[in-house]
Structure formats: structure tokens, C-alpha cells
Chains A and B, each alone.
Chain A
Amino acid sequence: MDLARTEVKPRDRAGSAARLGLMVVPVAFFAVFFAYPVTAIVARGLKVEGAWQFGRIGEVLAQPDIRHVLWFTTWQALASTALTLLIALPGAYVFARFDFPGKQVLRAVVTVPFVLPTVVVGTAFLALVGRGGLLDELWGVRLDTTVWAILLAHVFFNYAVVVRTVGGLWSQLDPRQEEAARVLGASRFAAWRKVTLPALGPAVAAAALMVFLFTFASFGVVQILGGPTFSTLEVEIYRQTSEIFDLSTAAVLTMIQFVAVGAILAVHAWTVRRRETALRLVAASVTARRPHGAGQWALLAAVLGTVAVLLVLPLAVLVQRSLDAPGFGYYKALTGDDSGVFLVAPIEAVGNSLEYALAATALALLIGGLAAAALSRRPQAPGSDRAGRTPAGRLLRGFDALLMLPLGVSAVTVGFGFLIALDEPPLDLRSSWILVPLAQALVGVPFVVRTMLPVLRAVDARLREAAAVLGASPWRVWREVDLPMVRRALLIAAGFAFAVSLGEFGATVFIARPDNPTLPVAVARLLGRAGELNYGQAMALSTILMVVCAVALLLLERVRTDRTGEF
């Protein structure tokens, strides 16, 4: 036998095949329900008689108002990100290092805004700082004509991103690292700056990029609070598509947003990879202790005050406004249809939304679960290092980044793309109810993957091997070893997917049929109409939506694990 002969390792190939097999369904899903509609609508806008009109890009970019939109989109996203970091980083520290009564509940409370529908957030801020809002009544202050309303709403939204991403890591950093630096002669501040800050750096960067991504692609909030003055790319795409019917401009804007989001995600993937470099992590429960000294109590009080004013107050005002009519008048009005806004009673939107969101959650869990399973099995073949720098590893990482794209790519484009691309056999889904859940699942999948991946990666590969040696086939291994460990993460992923599906607005607004509106669509339509009753009903519907989201999240917070909740 020739000893020098190198054989292709059959098990290796089988492993890669299994990984690729797991990826087939998610890839097909994204190809058909994301890439295809987006490409179709871009083509519709930029292709004239079969020829691409790339000259349009230059023409569109030359328009002063488009340039203005680009500039505003960028700077408001930068400002929102900076403001969010400024306000939320102390919160991250407090949640990571302090132990205080009610911390669990408070952690859930700060997360509620993140899963709230953008429409609800916009409405809540309108009730707080808009015309006839709380501040207007009390002091005659209105912010809805200024950019501050948008910025504050963005902070409201993304506070949880920073607290959970940065705070999650911070709470697991081994304090003994800092102690080691102190013993070696570093001052308290120097130890923090030299040890903790570099360890946190990538997490802060990742959180900042996520906030930038969300605010860059912001739609519902700006649509409601921006008025005629302020318009982001996404809002402009919506306007061009549905009001001016200028598809070529919309296509160019979609492409610009696509490129920008792709760049942001590439940087994000890079920081995440850096974050994975070996850090000494310990259980979060051992790093937190009760605050001591006036300074720490003051910090805790300041953070709690911020949370109360910035996160709780808008929601409280929203609830108060919805109750403003005697005897739950606005809620009662929801059950009848005398407003003429809908073909059906607005309250039916609740049932529609729940059904759609459940279907979307099931889809997102299936697609996201398969994707996470594929991504978690890193190639451990000889010839690759632990980072998986093999062609297959690179492919997987690309896939990882791809999954995040729907979070940033224009939801309006996706929604409109659905309408024009999925309208002929074999994929004629225009009249099918599944269209809405499909679009909502697109935004749910990234959350499922983000939640489940860390847990799946934490499963010791040798535990799987132990099961295999005892006679478990690969499928049995997944069922017996992986599934019991990820069950909690799966629940949490389901909750996030449910909440974002429930609140999805940009795509749904296009494809929800008039007789089957979802909650956010109904809210937006009510807000678009004049009259106190419509306004009150919008508040009431938003409150219902908020309560459903909050309840889902509070239930989930009870099963939360330390390793999840990072996005």
C-alpha cells in the first residue's frame, strides 16, 4: 500500500455536504423571496426595452433633493448612533455590573421598545412631542417639526441594542483581569482603559454599527415624525414608489441603500469576528454586585431616570391618549366600521396580525433554525485552523452576512417587489395570504439566527461525538444533544421573530390587502386621516400592539439565558 497516497477524506466530504444540505432551504428561500423580488423591481425601474439604463444612477444622484435625502439619511443615522451610545453605554454598565431589585423586569422593559412596531414608536412620540402632545399641552413645546423627535425615537428604539450587546459581554468579562492589572500597578481608571475597554471595543463597534444600520434604514418612525421636511432614503423610496410612481428613481435609491447596507454589514461581520477572539468569560451572575458609594448610586439613579423619561414616558403617554375618550371610547370605536378608513372593523386587524405573525414565526424558525444549524457546524477538518479558513468556512461566513441583509435592505422595495415579481405562475402568490408572512419572515430570520447561533456554537462538539459513539445517527445527535440545549434559545428566537413580524410595516404596507390589514398598517392608515376619533383609534390600536409585544417579551425574559439576546 502506498503510504504517501493522500485520499480525499470521505467523512469530511460528508460533513461539508451535510452543511451545504442544511443551507439549501434557507438559500432557496432568500433567493426566491428576497433576491428575486428585489432584483425584479430594480430591473423594472432601470431596464427599458431590455437594456439597463445605468445612466439613471448619475441623473438621480445629480438631483438636489435626492442629495439632500442622502445627506440627511447619513447624518441623522450618525447623530442617532452617537446619541444612543452616549445615553445607553452607562445603562450597559449598570446592567452589567450592578445588582439591584427589579433588574430582571427592567431588562425586559428596556427591550420592549426594540421589538415595538416602528409605527407604534412614531405614534407614541407624536403623542409626547407632537401637535397637541403632552409637551405641547404642558409647555407649548413641539418637537415634531424638528429632527429631535426622530433622534429621540431612534434612541428609544435602539437603547436595548447597546445594553444587550455591550452589557451582555461586559457582564461576562472576568473582573479578575482588571484585578490582575491593578495588582501590577495600574490605577482603577488605567486598568479599565487598558483591560476592559479594549475587550469591549469590538462589542461597542458592533452595537454602534447595528444602530447605524437600523437608523439608516429607518422608515416608520421618519414617515410619521418626519413630516414633509425630513425624509430618509427608505421614506423617499416609499414616496417615489407609491406616490410619484417613479420606479427608476426608486430603483436607484434601492441600489444605493443596498450598497451602503452591504458595506455596514461587512464591517459588522469583521468586528464580530474580532469579538470572537479569546476573551476570558465568566458567568454574568458572579460579576454583578450591589452598588456602593454615592457615585454608584447616583449613576444607577441617573440610568433609571433616563429609562423612565426616555423609554417609559412615551409609552405611558400613548396609553393615556388611547384612554382619553370617555368609557374606552376609542377602543369601542375600533369594533365598528363607521370611519370609512377600512373595509372591515379595525379591531379585526388584531386577529389578522396574530395569524400572520404566527405563520411568519414558524417560517422564520424553520429557515433560521436550518441556517443556524449549518453555520454552527464549523469545519474541523485537518488542514483548517479553528477559524475555519477553508473555502467552505469562507462560504459559510458569507452566508452569515447574507442573512443580515433583509434587516437593512429597503422593506418597501421588498414589499413592492413581492407584488410585481410573485404574480405569475408558478409563483402567483398575489392573492395568497402567505405573502404577508413570507415578507415578515424575512426580517424574523436574522433574529432567529443571531439568537440561536451562539448557543449552538457553545454545544461541545465532543458531546455530539459521545452520542455518535453510543450509536446515535447524525439526526439523532441533533435531536438528543443539540435540541435540548437550544430549546430555550429557540423560544426566545420565536419571541423575537413574533414581535418583529407583528410590527413589520415597510413591506406589509404594500402587500396586506385592504380587507386584511395588519395592526401597524391599520395604525398608519388611521394616523393618515384627520379627526380626533381616528387619532384616538390609532393610539388605542398602538396600545394593543404594544401590549401584545410586551407580553410576548416579558414571557420570554423568564426563559432568557446568558448567552442569548445578542443581535
Chain B
Amino acid sequence: MLKLDAATVRFGARTALDAVGLDVAEHEIVCVLGPSGSGKSTLLRAVAGLQPLDSGRVFLDGRDLGGVPAHKRGVGLMFQDHQLFPQRDVGGNVAFGLRMHGVSKAEQEARVRELLELVGLPGAASRAIASLSGGEQQRVALARALAPRPRLLMLDEPLGQLDRSLRERLVVELRELFDELGTTVLAVTHDQGEAFALADRVVVMRDGRIAQSGTPLEVWQRPADEFVARFLGFDNVVGASVSGEFADTPWGKVPAPAGSVQGECTLLIRPAGVRLVPAGEGLRCTVAARTFRGTHVSVHLQPEEAPRLEAACALREAPEPGDEVAVVFDAAEIVVLDREPST
């Protein structure tokens, strides 16, 4: 339904989008994930027609959008900080797109009522924008974007400025809502939790290029490269050499997943795969720090003459900083990443 073909945008010497190709199918929810400056917002703006392409093309329903101005593209965009019209009330904001499309007054009213109910703000039409909380503004912005029934809805950091508990609740609501409406959604976020919870498919961007694309589970389980792994929060990434069923790493010999390509590679050991064992049985480490993560404790271990390791432990088993421990590695939590020069 949406197709980007080698879309490129340059700002002076910097390339914000570097020949990006992307397909979004009808009813699919795609989340673009990446650090700030990776070109995610530029991607949305290019699709919306707010940012001209330097080269490449954008198709919507097979139609080339080149030269089509933003107001004729029929896509919806929810801005990062909502950009609600301050001098209009809630109803006026939601009805804006309908008015622009010449919808009758009666129809506008009915649709506004319907949408406000949908986003959980029934009867709020006459409220002033200034009186809304952050979460309410977000809902109004969503209703406004949905009102003209856009073929494609784009969300720029939809939950960026909300506090954590609200964000977690809203992300579930959004997912349910989009499933119900069958909306095609292209969202960008820097928050992996948000992306994984919302998306059918996650696209990780780096420096204007797509680093990986896949279902949340695929991306989580098999990060494409060191950049993606580190962006997802994995720090146990090292250069290794696979031979047979084992890999040589600075942390010693670790089991390699079955069927791994032999030779030099980059290896990821998920924290859950770093098991604490009684001292003397495995790699000797000193506990450098521990941080409480709610469901588990993250323990930072300093092996002798090797990079630090992060381990996830159950609350009761977590050692104290300064303790001497030993670790072994669980083959199920080890991933061989695509070869890429370590940075």
C-alpha cells in the first residue's frame, strides 16, 4: 500500500534518508525504531509531503506521490508534540480535517462525537485545548488525525512526552484501536518497548538507512548486527571466532548456537544467558555494580582481563557489589550477529 523506493533526503552534507526502501501492507502496523538523528521523522515528513525528496519515489496505493502537495496526499500525521490548534476547542480540532474536505456540518458533528468516544473523551468537544492534560491532548491529536479517514496514519513519537504508566496503558489502547479499525499505521519511536508493543513489524534505522526489518520477536531474538543489538540495550557484544560448536571470546570458550557460520563473527550473549555459578566453576568475575530492574536485578560483572559482562539475576540470588562470583554461558541466549566492523 505504501512503498518507498530509494527515498533520499539530504540536508547539506548530511544525508538524513539514504536510499530507503520500505513497503507497508494494507492494515499493517509498522514501527520505525531508531536513535534521534537516524532519519525516522524525516521519513514520515517525506511520506506526508512536508519534506521534498532529493531522489527516489514514494507510492501510495500504487500512485506516485511525487509533486503531490501535502494537503492532497490523504495521509494522516500525528505530530510529536501534537500541534493542536490552540485557538480552537477540542471539537474544532477534530473537525478541522473534515471541514477542509468539505464535509457537511451535521456529518462533522456526528463524526466528532464518534471519534471522541472512540478515543475515550466523550463529550469533550467544547473543552479548550489549554485545559487538556498531556494524555488527553494525545487522544485529541489521534482523533483529529483519524477524522478524515486517512488511507495511512503516521505517528511521530506518539507517546513521547507522556509519563511511563500512561504510555504503557495508551500503547495497548492504540494497538487495540488500530486492530479494530484496520488502520494502516506507520509510526516512529525511539522507545523499543513502545515499538514492540505496537507494531506488526519493526524497522530499525541507523544514519538514514534501514538496519533491520522484522517482527518484534525476530528483531529481539536475532538482532541483525551490533548496532541493532546495542540499540536494543544489549551490551554483551564482542568479536568472536566460531569453530565447531564453540566460539572463542574474550570471556573464554562459549557454546555457539547450532548451525552457526564458522570463523570470525560478532557475538551477543543476552544477560539472561549469563548464569552465576559458585566460584571456581566458570569465568571468575568481581561484581562491579547492581541495579534493580523491577522484575530482576541487572548485575555488572568485571572479569579479569576481559570486557564487562551484564547478567540478569533473580532478586534473591543477586550478589552484592564486591562479591567474587563465576559465570557460565547458556547456548540458548547466545546469538551470532552479522559480521560488521566493531565500532
Residues of A within 8 A of B (CB): 1-7, 9-12, 14, 382-383, 460, 462-463, 465-474, 476-477, 480-481, 484-485
Could you jot down 22 A-B contacts, CB within 8 Å?
Answer: A3-B6, A3-B19, A3-B56, A10-B66, A11-B69, A383-B10, A463-B83, A466-B77, A466-B83, A467-B85, A468-B69, A468-B70, A469-B73, A469-B75, A469-B76, A469-B77, A470-B96, A470-B148, A471-B74, A471-B97, A472-B71, A485-B87
Taken together as a complex, chains A and B put the C-alpha atoms of A463 and B144 apart, in Å, by 13
**Which residues of A have CB within 8 Å of B145?**
470
* CB contact under 8 A between A463 and B11, given known A7-B55, A470-B144: no
Shortest beta-carbon distance, B175 to chain A, in Å?
Answer: 23
Closest to A467 in B: B96
**Which residues of B have CB within 8 Å of A12?**
52
Which of A7, A382, A462, A473 meets B71, CB within 8 Å? A473
4 A-B pairs closest in CB distance: A471-B100, A470-B97, A9-B52, A468-B70
A460 touching B83, Cβ below 8 Å:
yes
Q: Dominant SS at the B interface? A: mixed
Shortest beta-carbon distance, B226 to chain A, in Å?
Answer: 26
Q: Which of A463, A465, A476, A481 has the most CB atoms of chain B within a 10 A radius of its CB?
A: A465
Residues of B within 8 A of A (CB): 5-6, 8-12, 19, 48-50, 52-56, 66-67, 69-77, 79, 83, 85, 87, 96-97, 100-101, 144-145, 148
B50 touching A382, Cβ below 8 Å:
no
**Which residues of A have CB within 8 Å of B148?**
470-471
B55 touching A476, Cβ below 8 Å:
no
B71 touching A480, Cβ below 8 Å:
no
Taken together as a complex, chains A and B put the C-alpha atoms of A44 and B57 apart, in Å, by 60
Taken together as a complex, chains A and B put the C-alpha atoms of A383 and B52 apart, in Å, by 12
Shortest beta-carbon distance, A471 to chain B, in Å?
Answer: 4
Q: Which of A14, A382, A466, A470 has the most CB atoms of chain B within a 10 A radius of its CB?
A: A470
Taken together as a complex, chains A and B put the C-alpha atoms of A4 and B55 apart, in Å, by 8
Closest to B81 in A: A462
**Which residues of B have CB within 8 Å of A476?**
71, 100
**Which residues of A have CB within 8 Å of B10?**
382-383
Taken together as a complex, chains A and B put the C-alpha atoms of A283 and B52 apart, in Å, by 36
**Which residues of A have CB within 8 Å of B6?**
1, 3
Closest to B84 in A: A466
B85 touching A481, Cβ below 8 Å:
yes
**Which residues of B have CB within 8 Å of A485?**
87
A466 touching B54, Cβ below 8 Å:
no
Taken together as a complex, chains A and B put the C-alpha atoms of A522 and B148 apart, in Å, by 61
Q: Which of A460, A468, A473 has the most CB atoms of chain B within a 10 A radius of its CB?
A: A468
Shortest beta-carbon distance, B185 to chain A, in Å?
Answer: 15
Taken together as a complex, chains A and B put the C-alpha atoms of A422 and B100 apart, in Å, by 45
**Which residues of A have CB within 8 Å of B49?**
11, 468-469
B71 touching A469, Cβ below 8 Å:
yes
Which of B50, B56, B71, B85 meets A471, CB within 8 Å? B71
Q: Which of A14, A382, A467, A476 has the most CB atoms of chain B within a 10 A radius of its CB?
A: A382
**Which residues of A have CB within 8 Å of B77?**
465-466, 469
**Which residues of B have CB within 8 Å of A470?**
71, 76, 96-97, 100, 144-145, 148
Closest to A470 in B: B97
B76 touching A382, Cβ below 8 Å:
no
Closest to A463 in B: B83
Taken together as a complex, chains A and B put the C-alpha atoms of A516 and B241 apart, in Å, by 98
Taken together as a complex, chains A and B put the C-alpha atoms of A11 and B69 apart, in Å, by 8
Taken together as a complex, chains A and B put the C-alpha atoms of A10 and B96 apart, in Å, by 27
**Which residues of A have CB within 8 Å of B144?**
470
A383 touching B11, Cβ below 8 Å:
yes
Taken together as a complex, chains A and B put the C-alpha atoms of A11 and B75 apart, in Å, by 18
Taken together as a complex, chains A and B put the C-alpha atoms of A3 and B56 apart, in Å, by 7
Taken together as a complex, chains A and B put the C-alpha atoms of A468 and B83 apart, in Å, by 12
**Which residues of B have CB within 8 Å of A465?**
48, 50, 70, 77, 79, 83
B9 touching A382, Cβ below 8 Å:
yes
Shortest beta-carbon distance, B14 to chain A, in Å?
Answer: 9
A3 touching B71, Cβ below 8 Å:
no
Q: Which of B53, B79, B97, B100 has the most CB atoms of chain A within a 10 A radius of its CB?
A: B100
* CB contact under 8 A between A6 and B97, given known A469-B71, A471-B148, A485-B87: no
Taken together as a complex, chains A and B put the C-alpha atoms of A470 and B85 apart, in Å, by 12
Q: A468-B49, A469-B49 are in contact. List 4 more A-B contacts (CB 8 A).
A: A4-B55, A383-B10, A465-B48, A469-B50
A484 touching B100, Cβ below 8 Å:
no
Shortest beta-carbon distance, A184 to chain B, in Å?
Answer: 30
Taken together as a complex, chains A and B put the C-alpha atoms of A466 and B77 apart, in Å, by 7
Q: Which of A7, A14, A469, A472 has the most CB atoms of chain B within a 10 A radius of its CB?
A: A469
**Which residues of A have CB within 8 Å of B72?**
471
A6 touching B71, Cβ below 8 Å:
no
**Which residues of B have CB within 8 Å of A383?**
10-12
B48 touching A469, Cβ below 8 Å:
yes
Taken together as a complex, chains A and B put the C-alpha atoms of A41 and B75 apart, in Å, by 58
A5 touching B55, Cβ below 8 Å:
yes
B54 touching A6, Cβ below 8 Å:
yes
Taken together as a complex, chains A and B put the C-alpha atoms of A1 and B56 apart, in Å, by 8
Taken together as a complex, chains A and B put the C-alpha atoms of A383 and B16 apart, in Å, by 12
Closest to A485 in B: B87
**Which residues of B have CB within 8 Å of A480?**
85, 96
Shortest beta-carbon distance, B84 to chain A, in Å?
Answer: 8
Shortest beta-carbon distance, B160 to chain A, in Å?
Answer: 14
Which of A4, A5, A462, A473 meets B83, CB within 8 Å? A462
Taken together as a complex, chains A and B put the C-alpha atoms of A466 and B75 apart, in Å, by 11
Shortest beta-carbon distance, B316 to chain A, in Å?
Answer: 46
**Which residues of A have CB within 8 Å of B66?**
10
Taken together as a complex, chains A and B put the C-alpha atoms of A14 and B101 apart, in Å, by 23
**Which residues of B have CB within 8 Å of A10?**
52, 66-67
Closest to B10 in A: A382
Shortest beta-carbon distance, A9 to chain B, in Å?
Answer: 4
Taken together as a complex, chains A and B put the C-alpha atoms of A383 and B53 apart, in Å, by 13
Taken together as a complex, chains A and B put the C-alpha atoms of A502 and B314 apart, in Å, by 82
Taken together as a complex, chains A and B put the C-alpha atoms of A3 and B15 apart, in Å, by 13
Taken together as a complex, chains A and B put the C-alpha atoms of A10 and B85 apart, in Å, by 28
A382 touching B12, Cβ below 8 Å:
yes
Shortest beta-carbon distance, B210 to chain A, in Å?
Answer: 15
Taken together as a complex, chains A and B put the C-alpha atoms of A9 and B9 apart, in Å, by 10
Which of A5, A468, A472, A484 meets B50, CB within 8 Å? A468
Taken together as a complex, chains A and B put the C-alpha atoms of A481 and B84 apart, in Å, by 11
Taken together as a complex, chains A and B put the C-alpha atoms of A467 and B50 apart, in Å, by 11
B19 touching A484, Cβ below 8 Å:
no
**Which residues of B have CB within 8 Å of A484?**
87
Taken together as a complex, chains A and B put the C-alpha atoms of A468 and B96 apart, in Å, by 11
Shortest beta-carbon distance, A474 to chain B, in Å?
Answer: 8
